[in-house]
Amino acid sequence: MSYIPEFVMASSPLSANSATAPPDAVEQRRAFDLQQFWHCLLERIWIVALCVIAGLFLALGYLARTPKLYQGHIVLEVDFQEPTVVNADGSSSRTRSPYLASLEALRTIEQNLTNRTLLARVIRAEDLSRDGGRALFGERAAGPKENRPSPAPTDSAESRATEPRFASAPTFTPLEEALGGALSGMVRPVIRRGTRLIDLYVLNRDPAMAQRLTEAVGREYIRSSIEQRAAFNRDTLGYLLEEEGRLKQNLQKSEAAVAEYKAKTPDAVQLGGSATALGSQTGAGSTVTRGGVVEDKLQELSSKLQAVRADRIKLGAELAQVADAGENVEALLAIQSIANAQPVMERRRDVAQAETTVAALSQRYKQKHPKMMQAQAALQQAQDAAGLAVLAQPAVMKNGLDQIQATEASLEAVVREQEKAALALNKAAIPYQELARQAETDRALYESVLRQIKETNLTKDVKATAVTVIEHSPLPGVPVSPRPVKAIVLGLLAGLAVGIAFVYVADMLDRSVRTVDQAEAVTGLPVLAAIPETKGDGEKRPGNSQKPVPLRAASYRLVADAPDSQVAEAFRNLRAALSLLGPEADRRIFLFTSALPSEGKSFASANCAIALAQQGQRVLLIDGDLRRPTLHKIFRLSPEQSENGELPGVVDCLVGESGVARAARHVLEPEIAPFSVSSGVAGNLPAAGGQLDILAGGRRAPNPAEILSGPRFGELLAEAVRLYDRVVVDSAPVLAVSDTLLMTPFVQTVCMVLQAKKTPRHVVYRAINLLTTASGRPAGLVLNRLPNPRGGGYYYHYASPGYGKGSYAGYYGHYGEKPGVVTPESNGA
């Protein structure tokens, strides 16, 4: 069983807090961080600048290669008050067309302006197919024909008034159709919203040709509309003339048939039929009335019969109520006929007067008073008379019902006789009414056709159109395409967008730990210190870009050599953070490790040990990296203890050939004393007895893992704790070898060093998992080589690329290079 010191078992929080590694949820997609992306953009601003410059050159190339286009422009007005050919209301005035008043009409005109047939007419009218279309595409100078001024639409209409009208669609040559299709790509009509105006634009390389084509398209559209309307009028007139002859013959035949029937059946004309049965029209030249005498009498008798039937039904219903009421006077009075009968109303009026008298006397007399008794007797007599009158009414109602039934039977017989007579007469009048209606219809159609022929003759030669040109095209002086300012701005914006996209993709693909807040969020561990990146050239002091300080030897001792630098202050922060992790007795042994080589663990452990020694503590710095020991190259040891060529170290202590007191080498005070930047003079360690000793790696060990697997390393640490206040162990990378995993059970605090912008997150997860399995989660992280900030907020964000070389490949067989001499070029080991 391995030996573990009791103070380690009792005080180490690593064994107590054996939490597992960060969950896989940390690997989920990160939310977009605008601040982080802004700093990433500043870091890679050169990419954005290159893309913007490339966009500028592309825009300039586009401007140089793209031909200049000029734009002709005319304005067309659509007049919704157009002349109509056929007016249904008999008026030849100009009326508003609901179709043209709609947006669909404007859209139709807009689309017709780009019609290939219309544009082929333009090609033929302007004789643009003579040279194979070269003038259309601006490949040669315009000839005399092309340079002539564009005639106004009114002039062209007058000049073509004598030309033969198109009887059918014109036929164009294949070249004219092809040039018309090419011209359609140059024409662009646009409707002005809320108006009846259409802007017509035509693009061409030649400004004169652009003006000419614009005028020609508008002119030919107007000509085409006029010709179509004239052809329509001619066709309409021919059709109307044919219809006039046919309708005239039909009218003559209809009138002859009406006259013949009138001669044969004169009674049918006098009797006629009802308006409902025979219609409301009258025959031409006839004397037909809307209703005969028989029909009028039949209508009167039918009305009387309906009234009698209604009275009978009402009286029968009331008699049924009388039967139900019996001799109940109050129930009988509820029947309307009884209540409204004259005798009943008179008796009820007497009762009301008697009641009024009794009520008046009751105010003055009592019930036994003679006047009161007389009034009550009169009231009783009136009530009895009213009851008798009510009871006498049912007999009166029965007599009335018998009379109504007799009247109804008599009216029914008369109505039947009258219906038979009307039916016989109406049958005789039906043929006549049909002939009369036919004659009337033929006459109305004939008169309508005559009116339309007259209107068509008046408008057939009118050359009117709903579209007119209200603004002609000037000669374009400035090209509309390409626009230099717009092209350059779009090129710059496109380059900027592409550059930002490149930066964003690079930021999303970067899986390294780059900032303090990201390291804490990814690992779930606190960042004990963030060590800024430093670079030295042998003349300037690392960590201080403003004050040059000479570097001495081949040292990473920035806490001593540059105490005013940001790096030194970061290690003082690390010292304070380690002291705040728990009681002093529980924080005496510190181990620094990393996931991969060259992340700065030796640099961090050396400077942390110097910072502890400058605080007045006796510190032992142990080089636990038995495969690639480095600490003996960083410090100059005391000469009296280094006379022998080979120094004892950790390996000698582990194999039992030396003790800690004999193997430790004292570091000279000038090596660790702070150097004053202002005066250039080294100071003294505190009078409390600050001391730094180094326990180097010693001789080479053929089997470091086997040596560390025993209890000897724990015994070595126990002996070191008895001799020193603080023990700092520099170990090997966790993922490279297993040596560190064998050491962690014997230490109190494990600090993991990460290199900003280099260490991948999955590597960090793996290292933390291994450390957690071995002894517990690390106490915290040291984020090394954090790029120098360009602003106060950069403590949590990086801004510069990676640096430095060097690896453990010489010993571990991967990660690139052979081990070399430690240099002051960067803070990493």
- Strand (E) or helix (H) holding 753: strand 749-755
Mean pLDDT by 10 residues, the chain (829 residues): 47 41 45 79 91 95 92 90 49 48 83 93 92 81 45 42 49 91 94 92 93 94 88 80 83 82 67 40 42 71 83 79 75 75 81 83 82 82 78 78 82 80 71 82 86 74 76 92 93 95 89 86 92 62 40 62 87 92 88 92 93 92 89 72 64 87 85 59 55 87 83 91 94 91 93 92 92 89 80 41 36 38 46
Nearest to 293 by CA among 425, 431, 437, 430: 425
Residue 769 backbone dihedrals phi, psi, to 5 degrees: -60, -45
Nearest to 360 by CA among 379, 337, 339: 379
Residue 198 backbone dihedrals phi, psi, to 5 degrees: -125, 120
The whole-angstrom separation of Cα 651 and Cα 695 is: 10
Cβ atoms of 267 and 294 within 8 Å: the answer is: no
Nearest to 288 by CA among 312, 262, 253, 315: 262
Nearest to 548 by CA among 534, 567, 532, 562: 562
- Strand (E) or helix (H) holding 783: strand 780-786
- What residues are paired with 781 via a beta bridge? 527, 752
pLDDT at 638: 62
Angle at 59 between CA 54 and CA 62, to 5 degrees: 125
pLDDT at 551: 37
CA distances from 220 to 114, 167, 226 (A): 12, 17, 10
| CA-derived radius of gyration, the chain | 60
Secondary structure of 506-533 in HEC code, one letter for each residue = HHHHCCECCCHHHHHHHHCCCEEEEEEC
Beta-strand relationship, 95-96 and 81-82: antiparallel
* E strands in 409-509: 467-471
Nearest to 125 by CA among 222, 207, 202: 222
Sheet containing 618-623, strands listed edge to edge, beginning at the edge strand earlier in sequence = 527-532, 780-786, 749-755, 589-594, 726-730, 618-623, 691-695, 665-666
Q: What is the pLDDT of residues 447-483, one digit of tens each?
A: 888 888 887 776 666 556 789 999 999 999 999 989 9
Side-chain half-sphere exposure of 449, counting CA atoms within 13 A: 20
Cβ atoms of 231 and 165 within 8 Å: the answer is: yes
pLDDT at 683: 54
The whole-angstrom separation of Cα 736 and Cα 627 is: 11
Cβ atoms of 36 and 515 within 8 Å: the answer is: yes
Q: Is the dihedral of CA 42, 43, 45, 51 positive or negative?
A: negative
Q: Could you state, in order of their start, the residue ranges of all structural domains in the chain? A: 6-22+524-812
For residue 148, count other CB atoms closer than 10 A to its CB: 11
Q: What is the CATH code of the structural domain delimited by 6-22+524-812?
A: 3.40.50.300
Q: What is the pLDDT of residues 751-774, one digit of tens each?
A: 999 999 889 999 999 999 999 998
Nearest to 767 by CA among 8, 9, 15, 22: 22
Residues 6+ apart with CB under 8 A from 110: 189, 190, 191, 198
CA distances from 756 to 531, 537, 558, 790, 808 (A): 9, 22, 19, 16, 19
Cβ atoms of 477 and 207 within 8 Å: the answer is: yes
